[in-house]
Structure 1
Protein backbone atom coordinates (compact mmCIF):
# COMPACT_ATOMS: atom_id res chain seq x y z
CA UNK A 1 0.00 0.00 0.00
CA UNK A 2 2.12 2.88 -1.24
CA UNK A 3 1.55 6.22 0.46
CA UNK A 4 1.15 8.88 -2.22
CA UNK A 5 0.56 11.96 -0.06
CA UNK A 6 0.15 13.24 3.51
CA UNK A 7 -1.39 16.51 4.68
CA UNK A 8 -3.17 17.85 7.77
CA UNK A 9 -2.93 14.46 9.51
CA UNK A 10 -4.45 12.64 6.52
CA UNK A 11 -2.57 9.81 4.83
CA UNK A 12 -3.52 9.03 1.23
CA UNK A 13 -2.54 5.74 -0.35
CA UNK A 14 -3.37 3.27 -3.12
CA UNK A 15 -3.20 -0.51 -3.06
CA UNK A 16 -1.64 -2.50 -5.89
CA UNK A 17 -4.15 -4.40 -8.05
CA UNK A 18 -7.04 -2.72 -6.17
CA UNK A 19 -9.61 -2.69 -8.99
CA UNK A 20 -11.38 -5.93 -8.07
CA UNK A 21 -13.62 -4.94 -5.16
CA UNK A 22 -14.20 -1.33 -6.22
CA UNK A 23 -13.97 -1.14 -10.01
CA UNK A 24 -13.97 2.67 -9.87
CA UNK A 25 -10.64 4.47 -9.54
CA UNK A 26 -10.23 5.39 -5.87
CA UNK A 27 -7.89 6.27 -3.05
CA UNK A 28 -7.72 5.15 0.56
CA UNK A 29 -7.56 7.85 3.20
CA UNK A 30 -6.66 7.48 6.88
CA UNK A 31 -7.17 10.11 9.55
CA UNK A 32 -6.73 9.14 13.21
CA UNK A 33 -9.01 6.12 13.75
CA UNK A 34 -10.99 6.78 10.55
CA UNK A 35 -10.50 5.16 7.16
CA UNK A 36 -12.43 5.73 3.95
CA UNK A 37 -12.27 4.71 0.31
CA UNK A 38 -12.94 7.73 -1.89
CA UNK A 39 -13.64 7.73 -5.62
CA UNK A 40 -11.62 9.64 -8.19
CA UNK A 41 -12.69 12.10 -9.64
CA UNK A 42 -16.05 12.52 -7.86
CA UNK A 43 -14.73 12.47 -4.30
CA UNK A 44 -17.59 10.25 -3.11
CA UNK A 45 -17.05 7.96 -0.14
CA UNK A 46 -17.38 4.39 -1.44
CA UNK A 47 -16.95 2.82 1.99
CA UNK A 48 -15.80 3.69 5.48
CA UNK A 49 -16.03 7.08 7.11
CA UNK A 50 -13.94 10.17 7.71
CA UNK A 51 -14.84 13.47 9.44
CA UNK A 52 -16.60 15.96 7.18
CA UNK A 53 -13.98 18.70 7.47
CA UNK A 54 -11.23 16.23 6.47
CA UNK A 55 -13.35 14.90 3.59
CA UNK A 56 -13.64 18.47 2.25
CA UNK A 57 -9.84 18.75 2.27
CA UNK A 58 -9.46 15.40 0.51
CA UNK A 59 -12.08 16.33 -2.09
CA UNK A 60 -10.28 19.62 -2.83
CA UNK A 61 -6.96 17.76 -3.14
CA UNK A 62 -8.54 15.21 -5.52
CA UNK A 63 -9.91 18.02 -7.69
CA UNK A 64 -6.50 19.71 -7.92
CA UNK A 65 -4.63 16.46 -8.69
CA UNK A 66 -7.13 14.49 -10.81
CA UNK A 67 -4.76 13.85 -13.72
CA UNK A 68 -1.93 12.72 -11.45
CA UNK A 69 -4.27 10.50 -9.46
CA UNK A 70 -5.61 8.82 -12.59
CA UNK A 71 -2.05 8.20 -13.79
CA UNK A 72 -1.17 6.74 -10.38
CA UNK A 73 -4.32 4.58 -10.45
CA UNK A 74 -3.26 3.10 -13.78
CA UNK A 75 0.20 2.31 -12.40
CA UNK A 76 -1.16 0.80 -9.17
CA UNK A 77 -3.67 -1.53 -10.86
CA UNK A 78 -0.82 -2.76 -13.08
CA UNK A 79 1.24 -3.50 -9.96
CA UNK A 80 3.66 -0.62 -10.49
CA UNK A 81 4.81 1.94 -7.95
CA UNK A 82 2.63 5.09 -8.07
CA UNK A 83 4.31 8.47 -7.85
CA UNK A 84 4.10 10.79 -4.83
CA UNK A 85 1.70 13.72 -5.22
CA UNK A 86 2.14 17.13 -3.65
CA UNK A 87 0.18 17.56 -0.44
CA UNK A 88 -2.51 20.16 0.11
CA UNK A 89 -0.97 23.27 1.67
Structure 2
Protein backbone atom coordinates (compact mmCIF):
# COMPACT_ATOMS: atom_id res chain seq x y z
CA UNK A 1 0.00 0.00 0.00
CA UNK A 2 1.78 3.15 -1.18
CA UNK A 3 2.05 6.09 1.19
CA UNK A 4 1.03 9.24 -0.68
CA UNK A 5 1.53 11.68 2.20
CA UNK A 6 2.89 11.82 5.74
CA UNK A 7 2.62 14.63 8.29
CA UNK A 8 2.47 14.97 12.08
CA UNK A 9 2.62 11.19 12.44
CA UNK A 10 -0.30 10.62 10.05
CA UNK A 11 0.31 8.28 7.12
CA UNK A 12 -2.07 8.57 4.15
CA UNK A 13 -2.21 5.53 1.87
CA UNK A 14 -4.15 3.93 -0.98
CA UNK A 15 -4.37 0.34 -2.23
CA UNK A 16 -4.03 -0.40 -5.94
CA UNK A 17 -6.82 -2.98 -6.01
CA UNK A 18 -9.23 -1.37 -3.56
CA UNK A 19 -13.02 -1.18 -3.97
CA UNK A 20 -15.46 1.69 -4.45
CA UNK A 21 -16.29 4.20 -3.10
CA UNK A 22 -13.13 6.20 -3.74
CA UNK A 23 -11.31 6.41 -0.42
CA UNK A 24 -7.98 6.63 1.38
CA UNK A 25 -6.54 4.97 4.46
CA UNK A 26 -5.01 6.82 7.43
CA UNK A 27 -2.84 5.39 10.18
CA UNK A 28 -1.76 7.28 13.27
CA UNK A 29 0.11 5.20 15.82
CA UNK A 30 -2.21 2.37 16.81
CA UNK A 31 -5.23 4.10 15.21
CA UNK A 32 -6.50 3.66 11.67
CA UNK A 33 -9.41 4.96 9.64
CA UNK A 34 -10.77 5.02 6.10
CA UNK A 35 -12.24 8.20 4.55
CA UNK A 36 -14.42 8.65 1.47
CA UNK A 37 -12.80 11.15 -0.89
CA UNK A 38 -16.02 12.68 -2.19
CA UNK A 39 -17.69 13.36 1.16
CA UNK A 40 -14.70 13.14 3.56
CA UNK A 41 -16.86 10.90 5.72
CA UNK A 42 -15.02 8.43 7.94
CA UNK A 43 -16.19 5.07 6.60
CA UNK A 44 -14.63 2.96 9.34
CA UNK A 45 -12.07 3.08 12.09
CA UNK A 46 -11.25 5.81 14.57
CA UNK A 47 -8.70 8.56 15.10
CA UNK A 48 -8.15 10.97 17.99
CA UNK A 49 -10.16 14.17 17.54
CA UNK A 50 -7.15 16.36 16.64
CA UNK A 51 -5.80 13.83 14.13
CA UNK A 52 -9.27 13.55 12.56
CA UNK A 53 -9.47 17.34 12.22
CA UNK A 54 -6.04 17.48 10.53
CA UNK A 55 -7.03 14.74 8.09
CA UNK A 56 -10.21 16.60 7.16
CA UNK A 57 -8.34 19.89 6.69
CA UNK A 58 -5.68 18.21 4.54
CA UNK A 59 -8.13 16.16 2.47
CA UNK A 60 -10.39 19.16 1.77
CA UNK A 61 -7.39 21.05 0.38
CA UNK A 62 -6.26 18.09 -1.76
CA UNK A 63 -9.50 16.41 -2.84
CA UNK A 64 -8.72 16.73 -6.58
CA UNK A 65 -5.27 15.18 -6.10
CA UNK A 66 -6.78 12.38 -4.03
CA UNK A 67 -9.25 11.62 -6.82
CA UNK A 68 -6.43 11.67 -9.36
CA UNK A 69 -4.47 9.16 -7.28
CA UNK A 70 -7.62 7.04 -6.86
CA UNK A 71 -7.98 6.91 -10.66
CA UNK A 72 -4.31 5.98 -10.95
CA UNK A 73 -4.90 3.17 -8.43
CA UNK A 74 -7.74 1.79 -10.50
CA UNK A 75 -5.44 1.72 -13.54
CA UNK A 76 -2.57 0.25 -11.47
CA UNK A 77 -0.34 3.23 -12.20
CA UNK A 78 2.22 4.70 -9.79
CA UNK A 79 0.67 7.14 -7.34
CA UNK A 80 1.75 10.74 -7.07
CA UNK A 81 2.80 12.17 -3.70
CA UNK A 82 0.58 14.85 -2.21
CA UNK A 83 1.92 17.77 -0.19
CA UNK A 84 1.49 17.51 3.59
CA UNK A 85 -0.48 19.83 5.84
CA UNK A 86 1.68 22.82 6.75
Which category of TM-score, normalised to the shorter sequence, fits these structures? Answer: over 0.9
- Structure 1 segments, 4+ long, off by >4 Å, are none
Equivalent positions of 1:71-86 (< 5 A) are 71-86=68-83
Deviation per residue, 1:41-84 (Å, 9 max, x gap): 32111111111111110011111001111000000122111100
Match in the other structure for 1:13: 13
Instruction: Return the alpha-carbon distance in structure 1 between the equivalents of residues 44 and 74 of structure 2.
Output: 19
Structure 1 residues not aligned, in runs of 5+: none
RMSD: 0.8
1:37 to 34, 38, 50: 34
Structure 2 residues not aligned, in runs of 5+: none
Deviation (angstroms), 1:37: 0.6
Under a length normalisation based on structure 2, what TM-score does the superposition of the two structures give? 0.95
Match in the other structure for 1:25: 22
Count of equivalent residues: 86
Under a length normalisation based on structure 1, what TM-score does the superposition of the two structures give? 0.92
